Amino acid sequence: MCPRCGKRTLFGGLTNFAETCRNCGLNFAGFNVGDGPAAFLTLIIGALIVGLALWFDAAVRPPLWLHAVLWIPLTAGAVIFGLRAAKAWLLDAEYRRKAAEVRNEDVRSE
């Protein structure tokens, strides 16, 4: 959701931000969320899925195709949902704290 107006206009794609809010016009290009959430979430979700898959295999002994049908969509959905939530939270945190990227002309050379 847009941190200014609260409308669901934050994303323009699956995990990409829109350029501006279609409702209030807030420019999302000035926010720098980066790729930190992607690496962090992928590692956490990957560890959880591998643990669940190993437990499931030991408990049920399903065929390999069932593992693929079960874990691939679950992993993809968890990563996409997690990225959207983490990126939205980080953008909201930057907006509320009025954080801005430091630009080279703002840094004084000593």
Instruction: Give the span between the Cα atoms of 5 and 7, in whole angstroms.
Output: 6
pTM of the model: 0.73
Residue 88 near residue 2, CB atoms below 8 Å: no
Per-domain residue ranges of the chain: 31-100
For 5-47, the pLDDT digits (tens) are 888 888 888 888 888 888 888 888 777 777 777 888 889 999 9
Average confidence score pLDDT of the chain? 83
Instruction: Write out pLDDT tens, residues 38-89.
Output: 888 889 999 999 999 999 999 999 999 999 999 999 999 998 899 888 888 8
